[in-house]
Each structure stands twice: as structure tokens, then as C-alpha cells.
Amino acid sequence: MHRFTGIPKRSYENFSGAHIDKLMKKAKVKPAVNQIKVRPWLTHPETVNYCQNQDIIVQAYSPLVKGYKVRNSMLIEIAKEANATPGQVLVAFSLARKIVALPKSANVKRKKENLEAINTKLSTEQGERLMALDEYY
């Protein structure tokens, strides 16, 4: 376990359930946070479920995919249905899965838009359509 000024590290990046199991065999303190790239094209259902079952917070690193997927036809369709922007749908997707989203933007307008995503509610069917975009890489 890493230590910084005597405080055990409690957040990790890109750990799978198997990695966390291995860590827990030696760790004295359970991880509090696991930060992973998670979005509709990379859903990590096993890791997310494992962490949530262990009361480990999942943080979605780069949930907006750096803007590369905002023109995806399914995402645009769902955004129109939800009366939201594609970015808001991506943040709402994380929130609906009880994942902490960490969208990054230097643009003040997009920062405000990202915050307003908390008001975007996705239906179960919309969430399933987004989950179906998973590319399993």
C-alpha cells in the first residue's frame, strides 16, 4: 500500500475487482475510491458492480470521452428525447449508475452545462440503449 506522509492511499485508478481482491489481502485499509474510464462505450459492468457491492466509490474519469463521441447518432437521439445535450446525457448516464462523474472542461458554458446534467433523468430504456454501445475494450 502506498503511503504519503503517513496516510494510506485510499483511492486507486483502473483497478478491476481481481486487483482489489489482491490488494485487500495485504491492505489494512479498504480502498474508498476506484477511478476508471467509464462511459457508454466502456461500461465496465463487472468492476462497477464489484466496487458498489464493496462500498467503494466509482469515479468516471473522462466521462465525456474528450468530446470524441458527442456526434454518435444514438447519443444524439437520446439527448433529444431527454431534452439535454449529449454531454449532459453522458454525465447523467454515470449518475444513473451511481458513479461519480468527473467531466473536464475549461469552457465556462460547458462547465455550467455539465453541472445542469444532474437534472437530466434517463429512462431505463435509454440507459439500456447507452449500455448497448459498449465496445468491450
Domains defined for the chain, CATH in brackets = 3-131 (3.20.20.100)
Find where cell 466509482 sits: 58
pLDDT of residue 58: 95
pLDDT tier for residue 10 given thresholds of 50, 70 and 90: low
CA atoms of 41 and 130, how far apart (whole Å): 8
Instruction: Record the pTM.
Output: 0.84
User: Given the DSSP bridges, would you call strands 33-37 and 57-61 parallel, antiparallel or unpaired?
Assistant: parallel
H or E element at residue 102 = strand 100-102
Give residue-wise pLDDT tens across range 31-80. 889 999 999 999 999 999 999 999 999 999 888 888 788 889 999 999 99
The amino acid at residue 46 is E
Task: Supply the pLDDT for residue 137.
Answer: 62
Q: Which residue has the higher pLDDT, 18 or 86?
A: 86
